[in-house]
């Protein structure tokens, strides 16, 4: 079941009684199908113009001739402000609408050399057609983490290359969409604790086909590559968030060529992706780049997203020592680190865990909690939600698997103290609240996992929802409660709707038939639930 709070965040009701949506419309508007660009210099912005009817035949012949040279003469081609791209078509189960898929479109220059630990720069224009039929590189990460989760989550995707050259996005558009269609745009920010993840493990084909929207999935720098900072003006940090701003800027400038409406952009994400969505709402740098937001299991004020300064300074010195660099001179340190190989820095990345988001004066002018509570942000309509067992299995299995077998009160309180840093003198209050009259190891374990879910997800989500409401924005809060049947042999029976479980429903994983497998063995009821969730998410993107 999927429950939703209304805008007042005070009562709970079934989702379809809380949100009213307009019927879908699939009229592409009868607009001209071909968009071309004027000649431009490499250091200038391209401006576009509609092709006149007399020119259309000439240019259409050129486009068809150029396309026919490739392996698929009917492959979709679209223009952008940097050049033409050639994609491919895909189909999904149960829907006749083909989807145009464009993979690996660059939205920024490769962040290598002098651009490592720096703000993203615009991508360079290209001549001829850029092939957009292959998955882009993953951003540098320990890809073993990404692929080890496939077995547990019952998902599958091909092996991807890993590289610092990774600032790309993928676009999934209904085949009828072209310049002038003005379809709603949904931009997905993937999660993964800001340490792992990829745009390409999420296939937007089903969501695009069934709901007549454009789906964009983006990548951003991770780990040390996305957050390294020197604590001064020479390396401010928050590079991952800067990448996201660059991707959204690209969407504003180019998505109309693919049939999207740049004035109807919804950003959505899960876990670290949802934290990113919440952060973008608070940042003045992202103002005007989107118009609605959906946060699944994450907000910007979740605890422990910012490492203490002493830990960051220790890691900064550790990085300098390993690389043989001077930590006291930021300029020299950056020059040294930028000269290191990706492999060298990736090995350091496994140890330097304190490089996280910072107040840099630009992306975050102040602490996120202050921006939120002081209403120092432009509110947008939003959906915020949690699963009813966020810390049921996936997260505790990685951090403290021993708790999953059961726990006594002593172990539970010890873990609470070490994880949440609650002073010893206050632990009894926590014990009375969550463990009162609980005696069995199973009951204590369940209460402990509920406590973690409340601290990390539920309470920050509710506080954020209240602040958004007080700032004048419509806000809806949901709880996802369904445990996917395909996980019955992968997770213990006590686990309910775990962290990430809703994603396969939002993306219509049961209807995909490509090489990205997101939902094996979905039941008929789960297919129905997935269709409902796709409709709810898309209707919100369409009307707010």
Q: Which residues are catalytic?
A: 271, 390, 499
Cα(102)–Cα(77) distance, rounded to whole angstroms?
A: 9
Alpha helices in 187-308 (DSSP H): 205-211, 223-227, 239-254, 272-282
Task: Output DSSP code: residue 498.
Answer: B
In angstroms, the Cα distances linking 54 to 50, 51, 60 are: 12, 8, 11
- Beta-sheet strands, E only, within 401-487: 475-480
Residues β-bridged to residue 106: 168
Cα(177)–Cα(172) distance, rounded to whole angstroms?
A: 10
Cα(519)–Cα(503) distance, rounded to whole angstroms?
A: 10
Number of C-beta neighbours around residue 110 at 10 A: 19
**Do the beta carbons of residue 481 and residue 496 sit within 8 Å?**
yes
Task: Output DSSP code: residue 307.
Answer: -
Q: For the chain, how far is it from start to end, CA to CA, in angstroms?
A: 22
Instruction: Output the six-digit token pair for 161.
Output: 């290359």
CB-based contacts of 134, cutoff 8 Å, min separation 6: 103, 104
In angstroms, the Cα distances linking 334 to 109, 222, 225, 521 are: 19, 18, 12, 50
**Do the beta carbons of residue 158 and residue 145 sit within 8 Å?**
no
Residues recorded for the chain: 544
- Beta-sheet strands, E only, within 411-519: 475-480
């Amino acid at each position: 079941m999927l429950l939703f709070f209304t805008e007042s965040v005070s009562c709970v009701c079934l989702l379809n009684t809380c949100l009213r949506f307009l019927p879908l419309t699939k009229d592409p508007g009868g607009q001209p199908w071909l968009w071309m660009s004027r000649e431009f210099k490499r250091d200038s912005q391209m401006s576009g113009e509609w092709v006149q009817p007399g020119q259309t035949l000439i240019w259409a012949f050129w486009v068809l001739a150029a396309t026919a040279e490739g392996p698929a003469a009917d492959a979709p081609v679209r223009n952008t402000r940097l050049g033409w791209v050639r994609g491919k078509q895909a189909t999904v189960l149960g829907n006749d609408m083909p989807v145009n898929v464009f993979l690996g479109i660059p939205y920024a220059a490769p962040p290598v050399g002098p651009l490592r630990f720096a703000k993203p720069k615009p991508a360079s224009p290209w001549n001829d057609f850029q092939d957009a039929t292959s998955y882009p590189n993953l951003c540098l990460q320990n890809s073993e983490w990404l692929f080890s989760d496939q077995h547990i989550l019952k998902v599958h995707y091909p092996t991807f290359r890993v590289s610092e050259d990774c600032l790309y996005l993928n676009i999934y558009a209904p085949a009828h969409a072209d310049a002038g269609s003005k379809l709603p745009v949904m931009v997905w920010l993937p999660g993964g604790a800001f340490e792992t993840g990829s745009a390409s493990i999420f296939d937007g084909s089903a969501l695009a086909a069934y709901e007549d929207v454009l789906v964009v999935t983006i990548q951003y720098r991770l780990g040390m590559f996305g957050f390294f900072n020197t604590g001064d003006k020479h390396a401010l940090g928050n590079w991952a968030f800067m990448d996201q701003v660059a991707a959204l800027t690209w969407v504003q400038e180019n998505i109309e060529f693919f049939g999207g409406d740049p004035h109807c952009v919804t950003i959505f994400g899960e876990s670290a992706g949802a934290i990113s969505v919440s952060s973008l709402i608070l940042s003045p740098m992202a103002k005007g780049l989107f118009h609605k937001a959906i946060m699944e299991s994450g907000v910007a004020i979740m605890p422990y997203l910012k490492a203490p300064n002493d830990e960051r300074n220790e890691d900064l010195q550790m990085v300098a020592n390993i690389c043989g660099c001077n930590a006291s001179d930021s300029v020299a340190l950056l020059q040294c680190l930028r000269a290191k190989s990706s492999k060298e820095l990736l090995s350091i990345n496994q140890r330097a865990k304190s490089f996280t988001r910072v107040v840099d004066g630009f992306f975050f002018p102040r602490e996120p909690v202050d921006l939120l509570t002081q209403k120092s942000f432009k509110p947008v309509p939003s959906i915020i939600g949690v699963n009813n067992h966020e810390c049921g299995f996936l997260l505790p299995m990685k951090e403290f698997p021993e708790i999953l077998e059961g726990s006594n009160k002593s172990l539970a309180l010890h873990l609470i103290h070490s994880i949440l840093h609650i002073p010893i003198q206050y632990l009894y209050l926590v014990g009375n609240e969550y463990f009162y009259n609980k005696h069995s190891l199973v009951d204590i374990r369940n209460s402990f996992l509920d406590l973690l879910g409340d601290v990390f997800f539920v309470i920050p989500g509710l506080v954020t929802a209240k602040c958004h409401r007080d700032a004048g924005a419509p806000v809806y809060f949901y709880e996802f409660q369904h445990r996917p049947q395909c996980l019955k042999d992968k997770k213990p029976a006590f686990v309910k709707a775990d962290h990430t479980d809703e994603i396969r429903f939002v993306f219509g994983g049961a209807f995909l038939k490509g090489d990205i497998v997101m939902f094996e063995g979905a039941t008929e009821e789960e297919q129905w639930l997935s269709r409902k969730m796709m409709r709810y998410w898309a209707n919100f993107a369409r009307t707010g």
